[in-house]
Amino acid sequence: MDKATQVKLENAELAAKLKGSLLLFIQAFFPILTGREFIISRPNGRESHFITICRALTKCTRLESLRLLINVPPGHGKSVIVSFWIAWCYAKWVDCNFLYISFAKSLASTHTDTVRRLMSLTQYKTLFGVQLREDSQAKDAFTTEAGGTVAAFGSAGAITGRNAGLPGLDRFSGAVVIDDSHKPDEVHSDVIRESVITNFRETIQQRPRGINVPIVFIGQRLHEQDLPAYFLAGEDGYDWDKVILKSLDDAGNALYPEAFPLDMLLIRQEKDRYVFAAQHQQDPQPAGGGLFMPEDFPLLADEPEYLITFITADTAETEDPRNDASVFSFWGMYDIKTQSRKTGVMGLHWIACRELRVEPKHLEGEFLDFWQDCARHPMPPLVAFIEKKSTGVTLLSVLKGMRGLKVREIERTRKSGSKSQRFIDIQPYIASKQVSLPAHGVHTDMCVTHMKKITNNDSHAHDDIADTCSDAVRIALMDKLLHIHTHKEALFKSTTKEAAGRLSRIAALKKKAYEKRT
């Protein structure tokens, strides 16, 4: 036997071996494509999640599973496995048609580009004889010389001119792959979330061209009413095969200890319960589940040593008790101490809070009254943040002409997320006990009770107090918009006479506001 024949036989033997095992295929080609070894996880008490996912996908290619739901935490290699699975399928059936769908087309295109690069490897082409058409090699859409296609789409957008699989065949011929259908920071918008489900119902599920064309969903849970929930409830008329993979199993073992060790997972679980339950445990909290626990708010007997103080205000449109109230909150930012030593972690102390229901024309006088009380504090506020809405705009226009207090607008944008998303964003900071209150403050019980009622789906009755807390956490701890040194310098230069003058100006403005409304 000559050398060329021997090499050909060895290649045929290797090709047959790799075609017979998706996991072996990944282990062989992952290092070639990335330059890194593919490490199979070794969790305690169960098989590797890589093995579990590969087995489930293999059942799809055998037509033993035509609707497959795989819930897996983020960062566990799901997209790598699915991308390699598609290339593995082409090694066996070169005419497959795949639709790859993610919450954004750009993300789906990244994964289909992985498939394209893998199939373009010399080693792949040599072993399996699969060639891509020279005139059709875009990263989001490409075609094999046998007519097989891969195309990327967004889960909420139009899917035109493409289908999955082939009609009339009793073998595997492609699939619809849905890899993370919802964007995490948009899933709490009912409109956006439901548009994804509607697009699946009206468009995506129409794309398989035959009865033997699977639909595969792989991704994390994000919401109690997300697309996986739609599948699990059988809303599409199918009984889905389910592979539910949790970061922590019932025995407390980590699913992927090499990347997410147990101590890391426990910290995440403690600090961000809501996100951990959904994304890591595949168990979104029920609609209306509370975000904030009373024990999350430390009650301090002594005031901290503040670096800066400020006010956040949320104004209301009406005095109707059925609607939200107007709320003013006074905050102090400080360096959290442990055993009398500064930690470098910033905290917020909720110094004061006032909730009131008045007509918009009375807001100016009420705010000035609150500011006067705050100005008597050893570190009076130099800046107030007020939401830019109709009542807030009126108050802003009046206050911007005042001396001794800077006023800043808070704008609500799509980027800042829905209201429920803004509360979810601050939950880790509160769970980390970075927001404290006075142990005997007149407002303490009111604020803690109010925060306890805040839900993750905007089903709570009122969130006026929580809005001022959300703004404060975002301004001071998340976006870090406060200028501490400027405040310290201003306070150092401030004299008793100047402080008295400030109070006098406030009193005069209050009198003027009172005269206007009477």
Q: What is the DSSP string of 175-200?
A: EEEEE--S-TTTTT-HHHHHHHHHHH
Calpha distance 107→123 (Å, rounded): 26
The answer to whether residue 389 scores a pLDDT higher than 90 is no
- Comparing 270 with 470, the larger pLDDT belongs to 470
pLDDT at 499: 46
pLDDT digits over 78-96, tens only?
999 999 999 999 999 999 9
Query: pLDDT grade, residue 516 (50/70/90)?
Result: low
What DSSP designation does 206 have? Answer: G
Mean per-residue pLDDT of the chain: 88
Pairing of strands 306-314, 132-138: unpaired
- Comparing 446 with 387, the larger pLDDT belongs to 446
- Comparing 365 with 514, the larger pLDDT belongs to 365
Token pair for 295? 């024990």
What DSSP designation does 164 have? Answer: B
State pTM to two decimals. 0.66
Q: Which of 46-60, 129-143, 490-504 is the most confident on average?
A: 46-60
pLDDT digits over 151-175, tens only?
999 998 888 889 999 999 999 999 9
Calpha distance 100→110 (Å, rounded): 10
The answer to whether residue 320 scores a pLDDT higher than 60 is yes
Calpha distance 423→445 (Å, rounded): 20
Among the residue ranges 246-260, 302-316, 478-492, the one predicted with the least confidence is 478-492
pLDDT at 397: 72
User: How far lies 127's CA from each of 15, 28, 82, 120, 483, in Å?
Assistant: 6, 12, 20, 12, 62
Query: pLDDT grade, residue 512 (50/70/90)?
Result: low
pLDDT digits over 462-505, tens only?
899 999 999 999 999 999 988 765 444 444 334 334 444 555 55
Percent of the chain whose pLDDT exceeds 70: 87
Residue 37, SS3 per DSSP? coil
Calpha distance 291→285 (Å, rounded): 10
Burial (CB count within 10 angstroms: exposed 0-12, middle 13-18, buried 19+), residue 327: buried
Query: pLDDT grade, residue 457 (50/70/90)?
Result: confident
Q: Domain boundaries in the chain?
A: 3-280, 294-517
Non-local CB neighbours of 147 within 8 Å, separated by 6+ positions: 95
CATH 1.10.760.10, domain 294-517, yes or no: no
What DSSP designation does 41 have? Answer: P
The answer to whether residue 5 scores a pLDDT higher than 80 is no
pLDDT digits over 420-429, tens only?
788 999 999 9
pLDDT digits over 351-362, tens only?
999 999 888 888
The answer to whether residue 288 scores a pLDDT higher than 70 is no
pLDDT at 427: 93
pLDDT at 94: 96
The answer to whether residue 123 scores a pLDDT higher than 60 is yes
Q: Which of 68-77, 179-188, 501-510 is the most confident on average?
A: 68-77
The answer to whether residue 412 scores a pLDDT higher than 70 is no
Percent of the chain whose pLDDT exceeds 90: 68
pLDDT at 453: 84
pLDDT at 497: 43
Provide mean pLDDT across the span 358-387: 90
The architecture (CATH level 2) of 3-280 comes to 3-Layer(aba) Sandwich (3.40)
Query: pLDDT grade, residue 271 (50/70/90)?
Result: confident
- Comparing 357 with 400, the larger pLDDT belongs to 357
pLDDT at 493: 39
Q: Count other Cβ atoms within 10 Å, centred on residue 234.
A: 11
Token pair for 360? 């918009």
Among the residue ranges 36-45, 140-149, 460-469, the one predicted with the least confidence is 460-469
Alpha carbon of residue 215 to chain centroid: 25
What b/e sequence results for 398-432 when a residue is b if at least 16 CB atoms lie within 10 Å of its CB, and e otherwise? bbeeeebbebeebeeeeeebbbbbbbbbbbbbbbb
Calpha distance 464→451 (Å, rounded): 10
